[in-house]
Amino acid sequence: MVVSNRLPIAYREDSTGATIPLLSPGGLVAALAPALAGSGAAWVGWDGTFSGSEEPLDLEGFSLQPVSLTQAQITNHYEGLSNSTLWPLFHNVGVNPEYSEAWWADYLQVNRLFAQRVCNVVAEDGTVFVQDYQLMLVPEFVRSLRPDVAIGYFHHIPFPDATHVAGFEHAAELLEGLGACDVVGFQRQSDVDHFRACLQELNPSVEGTSLPHSAAYPISIDSAAVSTAASQPMVLAKAQEYATSWGNPEWVFLGVDRLDYTKGITQRLLAFEELLASGAVSADTAVFVQAGSPSRENVARYQQLSAEIDAIIERVNTTFPSVTGRPAVVYLRENLPRTDMLALFVVADVMVVSSLADGMNLVAKEFVAARHNDTGVLILSTHAGAAEQMPEALLVDSFVVSDITKVMQEALIMEKGETARRMKQLRADVAIHDVAEWATTILGDLSQARKA
């Protein structure tokens, strides 16, 4: 059984105007589908609506178990404690975590609701696989009710310096929550080390043997599926349509992100502004396409980021006009359909992933999986977990805008042979280390840990 804050579903209107739920085919769905196939397998999560139905949904072989949350619970658990306290705490990029007692109370309450639902549904001696920081107390609550089950937890986001995390007033409770697991997984070894150091700092008497098994399991994508999808005629036609609509510039730079302040979107736009100012490219020879899906829009810091991005783009486009009138920065502020997203990966010459902190960054992996002809340069922040696995990218400290500009310049002059050599290696690695490997490894360790 999988437990994640959001269920992998989206609601669409059919031709009669009725709302129908559809399975969203994300990486996690693809990874866990084989493990979930079988009787009693289920996915517990919130369906993204206010006070929605708790009626289970059977979709494409998945039994989805929605947990109904009130508006107040969503405000306090999701927007509050999860995304205004824990998200900035764990990413540690200079945004201060906010805190309120009411948020913490509902974080407890919502974690209890999830745990209760799990316990009602999970089979005897079953396996419960909990995802991410929104649900760190679920393992402990489940364990207290169901000592028979195996419990794993995967932390998708960074685990920074121990002293920083230990400073949060409920850090000990969060880590105790994970203490009930058989396996606790992180993206990188440094995350594992920080987690262990944090446990020691909060509770120096804790014995090594009483800790859950913790290790690094770098998450990945369904590489084969992305690769196949990116070569479909519809995607190639859309890529062509994009290039034509931008006036077929010599260089297409691309950023694809959830609109989040951890992604370094302003840094990369400022770097592109410097690149234009340097004269290395002009608005006629180059375009920067930034696709940004709106995210957590009720949280003040996200509204502020959105305004910052708008202001930079307006300035760049006014300062560097093109002859044709096509803006230097094309901003696609929407949730793009999958075909359009893949077309962007196909049409880009330089992909810029400039996260200031990022557990992994799957966009970097999707970009290389989509490149069939071994062209294209990946600029990748050293602060993204993906950097450890993708050394053939042009790695950069994305806090330093002038360094991003420098690697953009490097990308412009890279020999074709060198570009192909790097891309081939990147593609080969992501093809082998895919999300199926991630799922098999962590679930395998979970079953071993339970037997031991």
401-413 vs 265-278: helix crossing angle, rounded to 10: 60
Nearer to ligand F6P, 220 or 405 (CB): 220
Examine residue 450 and tell whether it contacts ligand F6P (CB under 6 A): no
Sites for ligand F6P among residues 131-170 (CB under 6 A): 132, 156-157
Query: What are the distances in angstroms from CA 338 to CA 36, 101, 226?
Result: 24, 40, 10
Distance between CA atoms of 22 and 12, rounded to whole angstroms?
7
Nearer to ligand F6P, 46 or 272 (CB): 46
Cβ at position 293, least distance to ligand F6P in Å = 9
Assign residue 122 a region (left: φ > 0; alpha: ψ between -120 and 50; beta: otherwise). Answer: beta
Distance between CA atoms of 374 and 431, rounded to whole angstroms?
14
Examine residue 296 and tell whether it contacts ligand F6P (CB under 6 A): yes
Nearer to ligand F6P, 270 or 356 (CB): 356
Cβ at position 192, least distance to ligand F6P in Å = 18
Number of neighbours of residue 329 by Cβ within 10 angstroms: 23
Number of neighbours of residue 325 by Cβ within 10 angstroms: 8
416-432 vs 362-369: helix crossing angle, rounded to 10: 110
Number of residues that bind ligand F6P (CB under 6 A): 7
**Helix, strand, coil: what percent of the chain each, to 5?**
50, 20, 35
Sites for ligand F6P among residues 212-271 (CB under 6 A): none
Nearer to ligand F6P, 5 or 223 (CB): 5
What track of x and - describes contact with ligand F6P for positions 114 through 133 (by CB under 6 A)? ------------------x-
Nearer to ligand F6P, 360 or 394 (CB): 360
CB 259 within 8 A of CB 306: yes
Nearer to ligand F6P, 128 or 408 (CB): 128
Judged by CB under 6 A, the residue of 116, 203, 295, 425 near ligand F6P is 295
Choose among 426, 291, 419: nearest CA to 364: 426
Cβ at position 233, least distance to ligand F6P in Å = 31
The first and second tokens of residue 186, run together, are 């992180």
Q: How far is CA 92 from the centre of its chain?
A: 16
Nearer to ligand F6P, 133 or 253 (CB): 133
Cβ at position 132, least distance to ligand F6P in Å = 4
Closest residue to ligand F6P in the complex (CB) = 132
Where on the chain is the footprint of ligand F6P (CB under 6 A)? 5-6, 132, 156-157, 295-296
